[in-house]
Structure 1
Amino acid sequence: MATMTEAVLKSRLARFRQQGLPVTVMLFAVLLAWYVGAWVLNAPGAIERVLPADGAWTWQDLLAATLAMERPVLPAPHQVALDFWSSLVDWPLDSPRNLLFHVAVTAESTLWGFVMGTALGLFLSVCIVHSRTLDRALLPWIVASQTVPVLAIAPIVLVILGSLGFAGVAPKAVIAMYLCFFPVTVAMVQGLRSPQTIETEMMHTYAATRWQALWLLRLPAALPFLFPALRVGIAAGLVGAMVAELPTGAVAGLGARLLTGSYYGNTIQIWSALVMSALLGLALTSVVALIERLVLRHRSQP
């Protein structure tokens, strides 16, 4: 029994050395660089506004002042962590001061945009694969559409949809869809064309229709191409939803949280919103990765 326990501990230690140790070392290096950057960037402001003007202070006083400023140029990690935690526990969930309130607003727009972008990407990819004319006509414009910055498109889309009576989630979802559909389209075109010639000829031998070949051969073959594109698409959709919240002056959403922090010079609030947006992006991509694992595992079973 003791031998088995020692073997398990050794196995876990070896796994930590291979996977966990590099991540831990990199995390400490990033935190150290962050603290050094906060000290360097905040030092001029601390000397000017916080420390005594007669110069009666030490480097320890300077270090403490740079890491505890109310409106620093670069907040220290512990300041961001404290503001992040305070926004979660000190305010009710329906309060605009609670980050989870803004997460719900942005996540709703992101998910709607992701669903619409995925549906549009699947539709366009099927059309492109089954029509040589659409392949030549659509694909160059699809690629060219991504050369236009979303910051330039967002105000135009919001104004047009607003004039048509669409407000709230719909305009932000459309911007998220604009960023979502491209990776899905490109990946699915490649995936739907991935079956080999012998496989397509076999479908012809069985007198399968074009839609039967699509459903039974092309779509299953495209699944390994689809899910990586979905992970990219949902992350891009989150960016699109946050960008769409900026030109409208929205009062809810992570983009609005960033905007209000910028207006009032509250850099700590900006950084806590950035951390929350990163965590939301990780959560959404992790859900897609979990669905991918379940679908591909079920597909691989006999």
Structure 2
Amino acid sequence: MAILARPVPSSVSAPSRASRRPRRAVGRLGVGLSFTGPGTLIVVGLSIFPAIWAFFLSREKWNGFTPATDIGWLNYQRMASDPDLAAAVDHTLLFTALFVPASILLGLLLAVALNRPIRFVGFYRTCIFVPFVASAVATGILGNYVFNPQFGVANNILRVLGLPAQGLLESQQQAMIVIAVMALWQQLGFTVVVYLAALQDMPADLVEAARVDGASAPRIFRHIVLPQLAPVTVFTTIWQTITALQLFDLVFVTTKGGPLGSTETVVYYLWDQAFRGLRFGYGSAVAYGLFAVTMLITIGMVVYSRRAKVEAF
């Protein structure tokens, strides 16, 4: 005679299962923290803590050796009447005006060209993006060889064409333009990739419907493609503006602020004040002033995009 096993009531096993769930959750949380905890501590230690310390340092006078002296807001008041800082701001604004519109326009045009089914398109996309992966130091070293007034490739090409040689990196009028060209060569790949991703994500039905209705290619690009790319344009504009305001590496490697201070940007100026002039308090104040301006520009662009119903964020 077979003995049938009676099923265990669900009321008996339910508490044991419920008690195991919190333990499993705690165990998974512990495993996750063991992986993310060290990295998080490093990020906090190398970014947030120095930022807070720099703010307190901006209210002090300290050369790194003698005890710091609390001077309140005098460093910020000095910024308003510093002619060298005003010149650095002008140079930074000039670079931003040269770099940002060119990167947006050329990035859009190259993305549209690379979005077509042409031969070796993968190779062309890789060539555009490779300079963005390279460091700014490598770009600056390469730029020194290309734009050197004596033995640079650029002046050699001008001599072959029968044109007069230019001062380039040693000219007060041309140095910032040359640096903008180098920065554009390095950063253009980022803009192209962002626009190319947006173009490939765009619904093809809109373009096909416009073609069926008889719309020409310029009209399709103006009335369909550009409005669809408006959020991407806002994002890339903010990103490239922040990149332009933080220009330092190319200047340091190529001109070191020269000739005669014509390429000294805000970040290079604060580095010079802090690490060469040993005025760490004033350098920290300049850094926080740049941070405030960058934050205001970003907030203004975001507010404008939302009011214009361009949801970029």
* TM-score w.r.t. length of structure 1: 0.64
Alpha-carbon distance in structure 2 between the residues aligned to 1:100 and 1:32: 24
Cα deviation, residue 148, structure 1: 0.6
Match of 1:268 among 277, 281, 300: 281
Cα deviation, residue 211, structure 1: 3.4
CA distances 1:154-209 after superposition (whole Å, capped 9, x unpaired): 24324523424233320232244245433322222122233323323312322333
CA distances 1:223-248 after superposition (whole Å, capped 9, x unpaired): 12221122112112223x33332231
Partner in structure 2 of residue 121 of structure 1: 107
Alpha-carbon distance in structure 1 between the residues aligned to 2:214 and 2:61: 74
Confirm or deny: 8 A CA contact 2:61 2:69 kept in the other structure.
no
Confirm or deny: 8 A CA contact 2:62 2:280 kept in the other structure.
no
Alpha-carbon distance in structure 2 between the residues aligned to 1:74 and 1:216: 64
Alpha-carbon distance in structure 2 between the residues aligned to 1:296 and 1:276: 30
Confirm or deny: 8 A CA contact 1:125 1:186 kept in the other structure.
yes
Alpha-carbon distance in structure 1 between the residues aligned to 2:67 and 2:301: 33
Higher Cα Rg, which structure: 2
- Superposition map of 1:23-172 within 5 A: 34=53, 70-72=62-64, 81-89=73-81, 91=82, 95-96=83-84, 99-133=85-119, 135-163=121-149, 164=155, 165=166, 166=168, 167-172=174-179
Q: Which has the larger displacement, 252-261 or 142-151?
A: 252-261
More helix by share: 1
Match of 1:245 among 251, 256, 277: 251
Confirm or deny: 8 A CA contact 1:243 1:255 kept in the other structure.
no
Alpha-carbon distance in structure 2 between the residues aligned to 1:77 and 1:290: 40
Question: Judging changes above 3 Å, is the alpha-carbon distance between structure 1 residues 37 and 229 closer, same or farther for their aligned structure 2 residues?
Answer: same
Higher relative contact order (CA 8 A, sep 6+): 2
- For 2:119, what is the secondary structure of its paired residue? helix
Alpha-carbon distance in structure 2 between the residues aligned to 1:230 and 1:282: 14
Q: Which amino acid aligns with 2:270?
A: L
Confirm or deny: 8 A CA contact 1:118 1:230 kept in the other structure.
yes
Cα deviation, residue 118, structure 1: 1.2
Partner in structure 2 of residue 224 of structure 1: 231
CA distances 1:75-115 after superposition (whole Å, capped 9, x unpaired): 989658431321314x4xxx21xx33321211211221111
Alignment RMSD (CA, Å)? 3.6
Confirm or deny: 8 A CA contact 1:109 1:176 kept in the other structure.
no
Confirm or deny: 8 A CA contact 1:113 1:173 kept in the other structure.
yes
Residue identity over aligned pairs, in percent, reads: 13
Alpha-carbon distance in structure 1 between the residues aligned to 2:249 and 2:280: 18
CA distances 1:116-161 after superposition (whole Å, capped 9, x unpaired): 1112101111101234336323222233222211122124324523
- For 2:147, what is the secondary structure of its paired residue? helix
Confirm or deny: 8 A CA contact 2:96 2:244 kept in the other structure.
yes
1:255 aligns with 2:241: no
Q: Which amino acid aligns with 1:285?
A: T
Question: Judging changes above 3 Å, is the alpha-carbon distance between structure 1 residues 295 and 71 closer, same or farther for their aligned structure 2 residues?
Answer: same
Alpha-carbon distance in structure 1 between the residues aligned to 2:60 and 2:304: 43
- For 1:133, what is the secondary structure of its paired residue? coil
* TM-score w.r.t. length of structure 2: 0.62
1:186 aligns with 2:193: yes
Question: Judging changes above 3 Å, is the alpha-carbon distance between structure 1 residues 175 and 74 closer, same or farther for their aligned structure 2 residues?
Answer: farther
Structure 1: state its 5+ residue gaps: 1-28, 39-66, 298-302
Alpha-carbon distance in structure 2 between the residues aligned to 1:293 and 1:218: 19
- Superposition map of 1:196-207 within 5 A: 196-207=203-214
Structure 2: state its 5+ residue gaps: 1-47, 150-154, 156-165, 169-173
Question: Judging changes above 3 Å, is the alpha-carbon distance between structure 1 residues 150 and 135 closer, same or farther for their aligned structure 2 residues?
Answer: same
Match of 1:279 among 289, 292, 295: 292
Cα deviation, residue 68, structure 1: 5.6
Confirm or deny: 8 A CA contact 2:91 2:265 kept in the other structure.
yes
